[in-house]
Amino acid sequence: MSTHQLYTSAVNEPVWDVPMSGDARFAWEYDENREKLLALYQKGKDKQWDSVKRIDWDLEVDPYDALGLPDRSLAVYGTRHWERMSDRQRREVRRHYASWQFSQFLHGEQGAMVTGARIVETVPDMDAKLYSATQTMDEARHVEIFSRFLHEKIGMIYPINGKLQGLLGETLTDSRWDMPYLGMQVLIEGLALAAFGVIRDASTRPLPKQILAYVMQDEARHVAFGRLALRDYYGQLSSAELREREDFVIEGCYLMRDRLRGVEIWENFGIGRDEAMEMLKDSPYIRMFQSLLFSRIVPCVKDIGLWSDRIRQAYDDMGVLEMSKGDLDALMRQDEEIADRIDSERFAAEETERRQEVDAVIAEAAASS
């Protein structure tokens, strides 16, 4: 079935053309330069995987409760609209929420794939080009995974959120080579990692849990790449140049905070935009979710050296300044461990099942002899 038949509303631009400026840079120095970046490149090669083989796509998914999240995670929960809904309508709400969330993940991953290719073109250093090439492959795999989940398990897709599209446009059209790093590796990927993590840990369904854990294992490397690439470079910039990057971060963070409100879900259920915004603002779960979304971005922005009074004030206004104390390295280690543990548990269970089948065949053969 065509993707356009699954969209909840018509897509205005079947193909979004983004005019880009900036130079494609060739580097003729092939010696090893930054050891940490090259180690990350090696890890990126070692950690490539096939989504067809690693993910258990045979797992059943109820499209009306695909994520297995508590109803209080829905902004409409506890409101007069929720009380008036039938069981069938509530099932539809759960389906729309899962569709909207994973649709934005899908569109963001396509943006990351295009941005990864853009970084290969524009970054001046060969070691960064090498790693960006592995990231582009990672993002292609993620697009494949989220698209398959939405097509086969949910059967519904939401168009790209306007706030996300706006930040992607700004990230891709800036001619400065470091801006795709800042927009994608730090802001969009950082926020996606946090959103993936919240749903991965809260979901009671094995397939989305697998998908998010495995994707997060890749994304943690991507954020580490952005930190390594930008940290040294930003130490060389003038105060005016740093201020331009700070402006971009502040605007991008407000856009990202607004992106994950999902107003368009509730408009599909006849709730006006203004009322939906109030409903989202009053939801304790949504407020908690939005604050957790910055758990990766804020310490990363601090780590790369964009930590002026203006940045701190913006994060204080958003209520996420305390996130600056987070340990990014510990979070990324945890992401790696969770994915590895899911693999171990899953393949151990499969091995046990195979042994039981073999034992049953042997026992049957012995009984008939």
Tokens of 138: 């990672």
Q: 72-91 burial string, b = 16+ CB within 10 Å, else e? A: ebbbbbbbebbeebeeeebe
CA neighbor of 83 nearest in space, from 99, 73, 98, 71: 71
Q: What is the residue-level pLDDT of the chain in tens, covering all 369 positions?
A: 788 888 888 887 777 878 777 777 777 776 656 787 888 889 889 989 999 999 999 999 999 999 999 999 999 999 999 999 999 999 999 999 999 999 999 999 999 999 999 989 988 888 888 889 999 999 999 999 999 999 999 999 999 988 888 888 888 888 888 998 899 889 988 888 999 999 999 999 999 999 999 999 998 888 888 888 898 899 899 999 999 999 999 998 988 776 667 899 999 999 999 999 999 888 888 888 878 889 999 999 999 999 999 999 999 998 899 999 999 889 889 999 999 999 998 877 666 666 666 656 666 666 776
CA neighbor of 243 nearest in space, from 305, 287, 334, 191: 305
Tell me which residue range forms the domain holding 207.
3-13+33-344
In a domain, 20, yes or no: no
CA neighbor of 100 nearest in space, from 171, 181, 6, 2: 6
In a domain, 26, yes or no: no
The C-alpha angle 88, 91, 95, rounded to 5 degrees, equals 140
What pLDDT is recorded for position 261?
A: 75
Q: What is the largest CA-CA distance in the chain?
A: 86
In a domain, 22, yes or no: no
In a domain, 354, yes or no: no
Q: What is the CATH number of the domain that holds 266?
A: 1.10.620.20
114 and 173 in contact (C-beta within 8 Å)?
A: no
Tokens of 23: 């130079």
In a domain, 258, yes or no: yes
In a domain, 19, yes or no: no
CA gap 320, 309 in Å, rounded: 14
Query: Cα dihedral sign for 229, 166, 118, 294?
Result: positive
245 and 139 in contact (C-beta within 8 Å)?
A: no
In a domain, 298, yes or no: yes
| Amino acid found at 97 | Y
| Amino acid found at 150 | L
Q: Where are the alpha helices (DSSP H) in the chain?
A: 35-46, 51-54, 80-84, 87-122, 126-149, 162-173, 178-180, 189-202, 206-234, 239-259, 263-267, 273-282, 284-292, 297-303, 309-318, 328-368
In a domain, 23, yes or no: no
* Other C-beta atoms lying within 10 Å of the C-beta of residue 359: 10
CA gap 163, 227 in Å, rounded: 24
What pLDDT is recorded for position 225?
A: 85
In which region does residue 219 sit, left (phi positive, over 0), alpha (psi from -120 to 50) or beta (all else)?
A: alpha
Count up the domains in the chain and report the number.
Answer: 1
119 and 128 in contact (C-beta within 8 Å)?
A: yes
Rg (CA), the chain: 22
Q: 281-318 burial string, b = 16+ CB within 10 Å, else e? A: eebebbeebbbebbbbbbbbbbbbbbbbeebeebbeeb
- HEC-encoded secondary structure of 283-338: CHHHHHHHHHCCCCHHHHHHHCCCCCHHHHHHHHHHCCHHHHHCCHHHHHHHHHHH
What pLDDT is recorded for position 256?
A: 78
